[in-house]
Structure 1
């Protein structure tokens, strides 16, 4: 039987009323010195936080689940709940319990979700914590990214594939979308993100326009260059609505909005970012390209470098600008050292200044802000003296905000406490009344010591002492051995086993003065500090701009440091369509080599006229995949404006990098290895251009040998002949039969990774050489992997029998037939499947080849395969 409201305790009635307003959040309910959770929230908290789950009475004959923790542990436990993917509502006492009769008024003061976290323990210094919103428009999809902890706000719109790529690059902590679009969102983007749905009316143009104009206090959005991105602006409006809906009304640090234009950045889909291991290496964190390149010294620089990696430049002038500054820093070592010294002391200026409007900044952080502004002043002076035009431009844009800096240094003590309530925050000479009160408090305590000495001399009690407790304030304590010397004017307050405690009128008078002064001191210090924070408000935007400029300098210094330390060279970015790398190296693999072992560098040449496609063969574990990836990574690094791991590099401007590496099932999506492989390859084929770089590794291995060779063969021919574009292509394969393509097509060249056989062992030389390879040395690799000797011996026996019977002869003959008659590129798949011949024939008869797109062809091939 349900318990009536009247039977619940007043406290639980209050809890229920607040919980009803936040049903999908864990409610942390402040009760005295503890945050308590009740019912289903208590069960969640006990599991996630590892705290004890108990029960407490709730009216007559009723109990509720209960789990709590001390209020001073909020930051620690809040961090754990949000990291576990829970929305958390923090409900505080809005009144002083000492001044209230009955139930204390309570209310939610903060709502924390994965995408709106500002707590330092929740955030990672080196990455943004983006809240994203997606709006599905009629022709385009809009997306917005907002980091409340830094004030950064980005918008973009385009195809679903482009939005998917941005989601993969920015990796938002939380994604918003309209509730009716739940099914569509999951179909498009899967379940990779923490999501939250909002009412559909929030995703409307008029509401978004009104919300954004109110936030930026402008009459239009033309000044931000985003007024035409209607679908993106709707998404942006939804993010601001969500911030206010989650109890974040103070957003003065969100001062602008920035457009991400698809044409400005080199395109990489999410498969490419994953295959190139840009952020992490598979399941192993801390072993991706970003980790190797990131030698920034400030959190702002680390976050910007991550964004540069996700969105490499397409503008040669901007690329060369970064390269010029990097080269300048390499030459000007003293300047680089001085800038490096300043940047290390700036801390996270971007997040510090964003705490001001959020009312999260403490006195110690205000002093950190001041020290950071002092470093801005030093950086500005250094850049102004440089001979680089871009660095001089950055210097002109910097504003150390001298007025507010001087005020902070004048008003706040050099080493303030974290909390204002601890006192001793404001310097002497700032406020006359504060100084007088401090003298009273200080001299009052000295006077108490004089009272102690005077009374001791007058009474002859040598052990007399003045002390204090919270029950009756200051008192005189006399041991039992001297209590007969106590004057009659003293008032006894407490008897102990070995002593008596007394008060005097004079003692109480000074106590009132001291305690009154201390309370007024704390009140005044709080007031002065709040006034200082109010004075900081107009400086939020210039300090944010300073932080962005420092981040840029940090990244460019990082590039210079990497170039010197790891022997990277400046790439030459051209308008040509060629790619020429001399002695290229894989930056991640190179850094992971054992001491004393050097990386085997390789040359790569791809162009539009002579060597458009390289068919790369070689043994397993010989380094084919490393060569493919390093070619793409060097191209990517060059477009970031970074020096590259090569002796030299001439890189034609590249618009897109596509990679298809490895095979993996998408079991949750019901797709096989082969289907995933075909989807990704189809995406590449449908989006290539003359300026694209295509990296394909082991295409076709997700299906049978005949099917695999057929697909691989047709893909290479398609990239060579059947499209108007000539993308630069590296195609690694185990199908040695593809070497026949070189003889038939003018822009295809065979290369292999060299090896040397010594007895029954194979030594990988990891050097690229012209010509195809005929062996994969799979059994040698199995031996190196630690397979049992008996298994290896049996494998060799079977291999010998197969080679003796020439099992591959029919397949080789089919390949020769393909080369002789390219217009009939089809292996015989019917000989071994005569029972299904008729069904497949009927299926093929219904296909109009002239209207069949590459994607449909691959999918049709998959249907045929399923019949075999």
Structure 2
């Protein structure tokens, strides 16, 4: 069956669209055919019909067809993109009334999850990144761009860091080479788009970038083409440019620079930590509300909200830069009226980043231009508010705000207050802006008045009171007379159309004025579209100035928001130092502090410091901070421990305590005040949090395997300047295995790494390490018992806990009474067995070269204090003897683990 010219046109467009759903414009509808129609019907919930009857005799099935009205395009695009699909928009490129033959159609744009620019398809508070990955052995090139704002970044990083960076930027779409043989770890919600291998080639990528950025060399952006690592970043960035040119089919002038991402200048946060601390989204349902970002976001602009999220993705590791931000926040906190005035002005600011993007790519509307003008109109007052400020950062922001007076004057003079959403609608150019436009409008108005006057004259001349002048698109203006009055029609009336009850006529005079009016209307549209194009060009020319101003306003919004947060929630300014210390008084969890009723959250302090490299300098080290005993440095106080072991019941607040410590550090390093009475925080280079249980069954990894993998990552990459928080390590295996691992991990953190660490655990046996390792201290959650009832005080105190109160927690959770009673009977039996057991033994810690050679001997703990299975409560055994006799200087954590395994196997597993 031969194809019609239109269907031939469709197949040509489909070939250009590739795997994207082709939305083929036919009049007032976008139509889809064949498999696209079937996919769309299922995906969009629209009716599947057929275009023809096919040819049953030749075995040709009817052509499937589905469509939707053209004005619902954004609505359906959103659903297509949310499903991870791409859509190719094939538009009519000429007016059907003026077309000679079939209307010319072209694919004007391919929409994908990573290339959205429309406000209706984007979250105003979140960036929408398109990424590209280029694996090359131990290193990976990574680039990402937000097409809606023009922000373009590239870097090369170690292969094992890819997942960490990707989870933070959370790209909607990622480009991968079709030649890849190894899988690339990407988030589940990220759409994978395969591109030809040549698009990632060094030469192709370099030339594409140079052409886009209008430069002869990329050195000015910090990328050396001869550097192997930089070359990887360039290849990834070039692949993005190639993809955008293919899909956007428009100018990309708003993407005018490529920013290098420097890993060393930001706090490194791995993927597990990002999820565990619920920094951007909650673990349970992935929502912003309830996560750290949702709680601290007091911004009033979309650009500010996106910048705050960016600051959380890359907290600073440079104390002077952090303090510069803190200085600005402090000034805004101290001047409440200034902060309120700034925030009020910022509420009138529109999203300049995305407005400039739409103008540059040719997708703007008169309303977008009006928003640019309104934003510029409010800048002089805002700029004046920042004049003469003491904070260097606020002064810099004031200097970066470009008023663009010429552009503002032009937009205000040209545009009406209320502009339409489409240029084709017309009526957006202000009266008095152009004389020839005013003349055409006058003619339109005058012509319509003449027609009304002409109708009255003809009624009087003919004596036909029911005569009226009408208009339609086919016949233009006409005089309509009923059949009952047609004998009164003058000779100069020319019959145009016969209706059931009337006749329609035209006259030479009516036709002449019709042509004047219609030509005036066409002329008005033509002039307004020309004015619109000229204004867009002015915005494009001022694009870099506008984007620089938008960046300054976004930073001001973030700083003012942080000041409002600090003032309303009683946050305090942290003292930022280079020494790896952590001393927080009455700290609060920033999320729970907001979500719990006022006054219910119990604040807690923390004091720890990394162990000095020289053990002999321990007592004289610069990183000794004031301890929780209240004694200041120099008053005979002991140095702050490097590792805190936190024991206590479930639900008592151990996890909250260690998480709040990590989040307070994170907040401080983005330049925010923190929820505490006071805080001295040493800048961390890496933040690790192993909190909660999870599995990755699709990859064949159990909960315990994931836990050990994440723990291995910490032990292999943490440094002395890092902050590590751990929760219940080793609970996913047998008691002896888990305890052995937890013991060895604690020793490694203390002896080999020496970083600040908080370890919440139910392995009470670990508390013996406080007697053996000089940098380990015990903390526990206070509990009050009265007549069988238990009250969790949520207060962290010195010393170790002696009970877990698991049965009490089970009762609170609703476990049946019979189960709880039986558990109490078993617990009593186990306790009695421990009371009758032989003397408990204690495993001495495994030392390293950095550990002092002499350690205090651990005092045996009473059997009645141990309600869990003890590691060394067994009878005499040869392996236990080996453990006792092992040479201290020759023992490693691995040695201890191997001996423990041998002992376990000898006991029958």
Q: TM-score, normalised by structure 1?
A: 0.92
Asked if 1:310 corresponds to 2:316, the answer is no
Distance in 1 (alpha carbons) for counterparts of 2:241 and 2:535: 27
Alpha-carbon contact 1:614-1:731 (below 8 Å) kept: yes
Is the counterpart of residue 794 in structure 1 residue 794 in structure 2? no
Deviations 1:726-774 (A, max 9, x none): 1011010011111111111111111100111233321110000111111
2:97 and 2:78 mapped to 1: Cα distance? 31
Q: Map of 1:695-844 to 2, 5 A cutoff?
A: 695-721=725-751, 723=752, 725-806=753-834, 813=840, 816-819=841-844
Q: Which residue of 2 aligns with 1:599?
A: 601
Alignment partner of 1:361 out of 364, 370, 376: 364
1:126 counterpart = 2:125: yes
Separation in structure 2 between the aligned mates of residue 691 and residue 91 of structure 1, nearest angstrom: 56
Three-state SS of the structure 2 residue aligned to 1:57 is: coil
Alpha-carbon separation, structure 2, partners of 1:496 and 1:16: 43
Is 1:430 equivalent to 2:433 in the alignment? yes
Q: Give the C-alpha shift of residue 117 in structure 1.
A: 1.3
Equivalent residues of 1:493, 1:503 under 8 A apart: yes
Task: Describe how 1:176-255 pairs up with structure 2 within 5 A.
Answer: 176-181=175-180, 183-186=181-184, 188-189=185-186, 193-227=190-224, 228=227, 229-255=230-256
CA positional deviation for 1:473: 1.7
Verify the 8 A CA contact 1:580 1:604 in the aligned structure 2: yes
SS in 1 for 2:63: strand
Q: Can you list the C-alpha shifts for 1:515-541, whole angstroms capped at 9, x where unaligned?
A: 111112111211221122123221111
State the distance in 1 between where 2:223 and 2:442 align.
Answer: 58
SS in 2 for 1:753: strand
Q: Does 1:44 align with 2:39?
A: yes
**Partner residue, 1:612:** 642
**Is 1:328 equivalent to 2:331 in the alignment?**
yes
Counterpart secondary structure, 1:549:
helix
Q: Which residue of 2 aligns with 1:658?
A: 688
Judge which range, 380-389 or 308-317, deviates more: 380-389
Q: Secondary structure in 1 aligned to 2:717?
A: coil
Q: Which of 714, 723, 745 is residue 684 of structure 1 equivalent to?
A: 714
Q: Which has the larger displacement, 459-468 or 767-776?
A: 459-468
Q: How does 1:447-486 map to 2 (within 5 A)?
A: 447-479=450-482, 482-486=485-489
Deviation at 1:552, TM superposition (A): 0.4
Shift of 1:603: 0.9
**Which of 674, 681, 687 pairs up with 1:644?**
674
Following the alignment from structure 2 to structure 1, what is the Cα–Cα distance between the partners of residues 682 and 126? 31
Contact 1:12 1:58 in 2 (8 A): no
Q: How far apart are the structure 2 equivalents of 1:832 and 1:438?
A: 106
1:121-144 Cα offsets, whole Å, 9 max, x none, are: 221111111111111235522211
Task: Using the TM superposition, give the Cα deviation of residue 498 of structure 1 relative to its aligned residue in structure 2, in angstroms.
Answer: 5.2
- Mean alpha-carbon deviation: is it higher for 151-160 or for 194-203? 194-203
Question: Residues 657 and 692 of structure 1 are in contact (CA less than 8 Å); yes or no, is this contact kept in structure 2?
Answer: yes
Deviation of 1:820 (Å): 8.4
SS of the residue aligned with 1:372? helix
Who is 2:116 aligned against?
117
Query: What RMSD in Å do the two structures reach over aligned CA positions?
Result: 3.0
CA shift at 1:832, angstroms?
Answer: 15
> What's the counterpart of residue 301 of structure 2?
298
Deviates more, 1:397-406 or 1:470-479: 470-479
Aligned to 1:16: 11
Instruction: Select the residue among 6, 12, 27 that pairs with 1:32.
Output: 27
Moved more, 395-404 or 441-450: 395-404
Q: Unpaired runs of 5+ in structure 2?
A: 612-617, 619-638, 849-857, 859-869, 883-889
Separation of aligned partners in 1, 2:217 and 2:836: 70
The match for 2:86 is 87
- C-alpha distance after superposition, 1:839-860 (max 9, x if no partner): xx9xxxxxxx999989x999x9
1:497: how far off?
5.4
Between the aligned partners of 1:520 and 1:791, the Cα distance in structure 2 is 86
Distance in 2 (CA, whole Å) between partners of 1:245 and 1:831 is 75
- Asked if the contact 2:16/2:107 (under 8 Å) is kept, the reply is no
Per-residue deviation, 1:500:
4.2
Q: Give the CA deviation at 1:487.
A: 2.9
Counterparts of 2:706 and 2:393, CA distance in 1: 46
Cα distance in 1, alignment partners of residues 241 and 836 from structure 2: 64
**Partner-residue secondary structure (3-state), 1:414:** coil
Of 527, 537, 540, the residue aligned with 2:543 is 540
Count of residue pairs brought into register by the alignment: 841
Question: 1:585·1:599 contact (CA, 8 Å) conserved in 2?
Answer: yes
Q: Which residue of 2 aligns with 1:516?
A: 519
Question: Which residue of structure 2 lines up, in the alignment, with residue 846 of structure 1?
Answer: none
What residue number does 1:630 align with?
A: 660
Q: 1:83 Cα deviation (Å)?
A: 1.1
In the aligned structure 1, how far is the partner of 2:370 from the partner of 2:723? 50
How far apart in 2 are the matches of 1:121 and 1:833?
A: 72
Change (3 A) 1:759 1:497: farther
Q: Which residue of 1 aligns with 2:592?
A: 589
Secondary structure of the corresponding residue to residue 121 of structure 1:
helix
What is the DSSP-based 3-state SS (H/G/I as helix, E as strand, rest coil) of the residue aligned with 1:619? Answer: coil
Aligned partners of 1:7 and 1:59 also within 8 Å:
no
Shift of 1:58: 6.6
Q: Normalising to structure 2: TM-score of the pair?
A: 0.88
Q: Would the aligned equivalents of 1:97 and 1:104 in 2 still touch at CA under 8 Å?
A: yes
Provide the rounded CA distance (Å) in 2 between the counterparts of 1:696 and 1:797: 32
TM superposition shift of 1:481 = 6.0
Q: Is the 8 A contact 1:581 1:604 kept in 2?
A: yes
The within-5 A match list for 1:350-389 is 350-389=353-392
SS in 2 for 1:287: coil
Aligned to 1:53: 48
3-state secondary structure, aligned to 1:541: helix
Check the 8 A contact 1:706/1:829 in 2, yes or no: no
Stretch deviating more after TM superposition (392-401 or 678-687): 392-401
Query: 1:822 & 1:424 partners in 2: Cα distance?
Result: 82
Please give the per-residue CA displacement for 1:276-333, whole angstroms capped at 9, x wherever unaligned.
1101221231210000011100110000000101100011111111111001111222
CA change 1:828–1:105 in 2 (3 A) is: farther
**Structure 1 portions without partners, runs of 5+:** 1-5, 842-848
Deviation of 1:25 (Å): 1.0
Q: 1:184 to 1:820 in 2, by over 3 A?
A: closer
Q: Counterpart in 2 of 1:667?
A: 697
Alpha-carbon distance between aligned partners in 1 of 2:187 and 2:594, rounded to the nearest angstrom = 35
Give the whole-Å Cα distance in 1 for the aligned partners of 2:565 and 2:829: 53
CA contact (8 A) 1:612 1:728 kept: yes
Give 1:102 shift.
Answer: 4.2
CA separation of 1:829/1:538 partners in 2, compared to 1, >3 Å: closer, same or farther?
Answer: farther
CA distance 1:334–1:191, shift in 2 (3 Å)? closer
Query: Deviations for 1:597-637, whole angstroms, at most 9, x for unmatched residues?
Result: 42100010002353111110011100000000000000110
Q: Could you tell me whether the CA contact under 8 Å between 1:325 and 1:556 is conserved in 2?
A: yes
Task: Please state how far the C-alpha of 1:96 moved relative to its aligned partner.
Answer: 3.1
CA distance in 1, matches of 2:875, 2:703: 26
Contact 2:166–2:187 (Cα < 8 Å) also in 1: no
